[in-house]
Amino acid sequence: MSRSIFRFLTLTLGVLLLSAWTPSQAMAGERPCALAGTSTVADILTDLGGDRLQVRLLIPGGSCPGHYDLRPGDLRFLGQADLLVLEYFQKDMPNMRNLVRAAANPELELLNLPEETCALLPKAQERLTLFLADRLASRWPGEATAIRGAADRRIERIRAVGDREQRRLAALGLHPGKAAADAPAVLCSALQEPLADWAGLRVVGTYGRPEDLTPECFERLLNLGREHRVRAVLDNIQSGPGAGRGLAESLGAGRADLSSFPGGVPGEDQWEAVFTGNIDRMIRALQHNGE
């Protein structure tokens, strides 16, 4: 066999072998892929992983996780993903179980975050950041130092933001973390009660989604509002628009739309922005003059 024919056959065989690589082999040199169940998870993953981790968000921040229809692209991404991270309340949701089953990705690791009453509160953010940093560092030990460094910086920012907002609320006469007997009374979405408590407000009644606000429920809350001279009604954006609008109008109280997730309000895509934005909106509602 001539040398030129041998080189040709060798080159042809190499091309055929390259074309036979599996998708997982072809992706071996790419960044690890993580799918985030909520924008809270995506924000932490992006902060910890930086350019080392490719993060895709499943459910936009303005949507209710339990009422959102997933996209075909999510299934394709999950089929190649290394990690799926869900908040604790998502693990038993039908849309999540169906997605994982349909993806049929044996290499996928499913990680459920520990339960938090309100993941936006500073202490909860610290705990979730440490939890995810530990899991990411264990899965990718070569990046452990960078991941843990990013976690330290994030926690430093979380503490600074929490301290700043507590000082701002204290300057208004509130007692963050412990409502005084004379603290402003509010009605709020049950999902925003932990934040109202953190701010030092006195929650006298809560409600759910707009469709759950029956005439009987509305009347009960209205009576509570009048009895306690409620200053503000705090809605949850992801539960549906304006659930408490009628209550606020009937009581002459202020009203605020608060977000449970980053991205629920335009321009508030990170934790710091949405947490500060929620406090801003809460304060404006409390300062409502009834006009």
Q: What is the 3-state secondary structure (H, E, C) of 219-237?
A: HHHHHHHHHCCCCEEEEEH
pLDDT in tens, 232-274: 999 999 998 789 999 999 999 999 999 999 999 999 999 999 9
pLDDT above 90 (res 204): yes
For the beta carbon of residue 165, count every other beta carbon within 10 angstroms. Answer: 20
Structure-derived torsion over alpha carbons of residues 174, 175, 178, 181, reported in degrees to the nearest 10: -50
pLDDT band, very low/low/confident/very high, at 208 (cuts 50, 70, 90): very high
For the beta carbon of residue 100, count every other beta carbon within 10 angstroms. Answer: 17
Cβ-contact 29, 252 below 8 angstroms: no
Residues 6+ apart with CB under 8 A from 24: 80, 107
Given 3.40.50.1980, 3.20.20.30, 3.40.50.720, 3.60.15.10, which CATH number is that of 176-286? Answer: 3.40.50.1980
Q: What is the mean pLDDT of residues 168-197?
A: 94
Domain ranges of the chain: 29-165, 176-286
14-23, 141-150, 282-291: range with highest mean pLDDT? 141-150
Cβ-contact 39, 263 below 8 angstroms: yes
Picking from 250, 232, 243, the residue whose alpha carbon sits closest to that of residue 208 is 243
Residues above pLDDT 70, as percent of the chain? 89
Given 3.40.366.10, 3.20.20.70, 1.10.10.60, 3.40.50.1980, which CATH number is that of 29-165? Answer: 3.40.50.1980
pLDDT in tens, 88-104: 999 888 888 888 888 88
pLDDT in tens, 140-158: 999 999 999 999 999 999 9
Q: What is the pLDDT of residue 26?
A: 30
Task: Let me know if the fold of 29-165 is the same as that of 176-286.
Answer: yes
